[in-house]
A and B are shown apart, each in its own frame.
Chain A
Amino acid sequence: MDSLIAASARALAAGDALGALKRVALRDDPPALALRGIAMAQLGEHPRARELLRRAARGFGAHEELARARCLVAEAEVALAMRDLGGSPRLLAAAASTLEAHADHGNALQARLIAARKFLLLGRLGDAAATLAPLDARGLPPSLAAVAELTAAELALRSLRTAMAQAALDRAHEAAERARVPALLAEVAEARAALDRPAARRRSAGGEETLRLQEVEALLASDALVVDACRRGVGAGDAWRPLARRPVLFALARALAEAWPGDVDREALIAYAFNTRHPDETLRARLRVEVGRLRALIAPLAGIEATARGFVLKPRGGREVAVLAPPIDGEQASLLALLSDGAAWSTSALALALGASQRTVQRALAELEATGRVRAIGRARAQRWLSPPLTGFTTILLLPAALPIE
């Protein structure tokens, strides 16, 4: 590397992004472009940073593939901070292999972490887990280890494994302390707080109580028959009957579970499930059909018996019955609860699950998006909705540990 590049890198390493920039501001050779890009990223000028890093990557020759790969990783991280998730996962994977082949393990791991976080943000939990699984955070620079553990914690939270999440967050905290990066420590603290916030309400005929994530996990793991209004389904132990696409059946199950051990009046069921105050003979017939369908679906978990005035839920094997509801009421809360599974939902799927019109859902989503509580990816018919990550996901740029120049 040449003297001004070295001087600029020296300034950057000392945290002086402006000083770094000043030294190479007028140069357009690839190492200078890369340094300018990294300095710009640290100054929060993400779009400009990205463009500079792209130009740097293009400028490095075929024999400088290590430098090029580092630029690609830096660019991908800036894109992630911008929440632009359109980049190709294959490019990033190729960069990671190149770095691995050149024994640049720190930056290779960083590339894979970026890929895993991107999959998480895209709601592709399986891909995220597959990317994260082979990574070994031990023996890494602490800041990278902290990000790796935060990502693992997020993934564990998404799949409602709070003990795993807790353990990952403890390791993240320890790593963040070693890294002495205040922003990382704050992020770990925030993620830990998320574990203590009310995650759902348990409702029954007797009243309701607020549950934390651990308690939700414990309830779902228990033998109780849970009608889950957050994920829209009925479960007991390992058994799970998704009803997200059967809103009428879900409404019936929920009404029956909330009244348990009592029964529910036919007219009340019709009013609740069919959303009408004027029951007639056709609706009574339809109620019989729908109850029959629900009965067949949940037969291994519970029976539904007719009573003099309506129907009653009879869980098998003396199980308890619990209704899990979103922590607050309303369309928006229900949407957030549905999205909290971390998967990407289409508007029509959300509308179907909530039994609301697409218009209503669209409006609620727009309000949520304006306050940053949901995110959209894709456009038009390919548009999908996602909840923001539970752990708030870092936009701290770690950027390649070694600069793309040597």
Chain B
Amino acid sequence: MTRWLRHLSLGTLVALASCDTAPAGVAGTLRLPIINDPIFNPVIAPDLGSVMVNKVIFSALVRPDTALQPTPDLATSWEVAPDGLTWTFHLRPGVRWHDGAPFTSRDVKFTFDQILDLASGTRLRSDFAAVDGVDIVDSLTVRFRLGAPFAPLLTLLGYNAGILPEHLLRGQRLSDATTFNRTTPIGTGPFRLAQVTPGATVVLERNPHWYGAPPGLDRLIFKVVPDINAQVAQLRAGELDLITIEPANLGSVQHQDGITIRQVPVVQHWYVGFNTMSHLFSAPAVRRAMAFAVNREAIVAGVLKGYADLPTGTIPVALREYHDSTLHPIPFAPDSAQALLAQAGWHRDADGKLRNAAGRDFAFDLLVDKGNPTREQAALAVQQDLERIGMTVRLRTMEFAALVRDRVLPGNYEAILIWWTTPPDPDQYAFYASDQDNNHVRWRNRTADSLLLAGRRTSDPTARREIYRAFQRVERDDPPVLVLFYPREIQAATTRLRGLPALGIRDALRHSEVLSLGPGS
């Protein structure tokens, strides 16, 4: 019995081991991970995985080039009226949807009618709040009517606003269009859906009728791999070709045959946000002092393993045209911090604790979401640095959804370590202008308000550059938040991958047709 079992199991193992591992060798197939099943609809999809897939299936009117500047895509050209209130887009002729139907201005109007209609379940409406409506001029011309000049319009058109097919979705509420959203999306992008296995894979194949240069890949496969450790293992096993990793994962992929590590700046800034409604943080001098007290170089070197840029303000280096590179990163200067705090009425007592004239401690809770080692370690470093200048910082970790709903949105917090991922435009009106929905730190600065308003109403790039440089100088004196760093996206990829633009993965996938696989090196 025992011998029989042994022979059977050995034989089975040998037979299975000798099976062909063909899938890994399919030519021209690039495999990327996403963490759950995507919703194939750029207007309502909420998560990064869906955004990535939709950028390949659904083209937009414009797309960002490698310098993140808008370039033609479904629109070949555009004009803006002198008053900035009307934008006219000329659409590319001869474009067909994946099902063969012609693409026209009706599709653009339909898409933006949906985006502007809250009942459709859209998540893009606030991006286009300045748009009053879209009119059809002719079958290949559309006109956007704006309530106020809005310079970021072009950038936002190329960010997440993929165009939907009117002929398939007319009369349906987008959130109820389950068949389209889950199994049969039709776009105009370089790849079209070939097969979906729920919870497992989304197989896209080359769109032979695409209007651009022929894609360099036969297939693009998104595999649902929810766990980052499993993604790393699958990359090493050759079952994935490109993943983005956290600094903590570097050790698992560095110096591995067939894997290369790349880093690209992304339009993000990570920061400690102080509730400026709190008496502790209302004075700009206190926020400046805290900015001096935190050793960012140590955080970037220790926590980020060097894969980040030191900050000068809230406009990251990835926005090359607008980031003011003449400004020096905020230095680590605890002595300056102490001096500023003294000016603001905070002195260290015999125990080294900061107290004000009323004898109150400088003590507060610092919130961070749990489960992300980079953020948790950065929060720990911030806590230690601030305690060195006499503050009492109580670190609190919370689940992200609870953090946002119960603390951030109602303003029920003192300090929080969080981040913004923004479109590739310097407009930060929604985040830092007074009384805006996304100004969670409740920062108010009249000069900044006027600059941010001017920045979004001025279409001239040179003028905008000056405006945002001025804004960055305002931030030096009155920091809205304590920016910790601008992270770089760490991409671990097969050495066979060719053509990937030096952009974060979500922007790079707007250029999926240039990707290809060569021989290994």
Say whether A associates with B. no
Contacts from B to A (Cβ < 8 Å) = none
User: A residues within 8 Å of B by Cβ?
Assistant: none
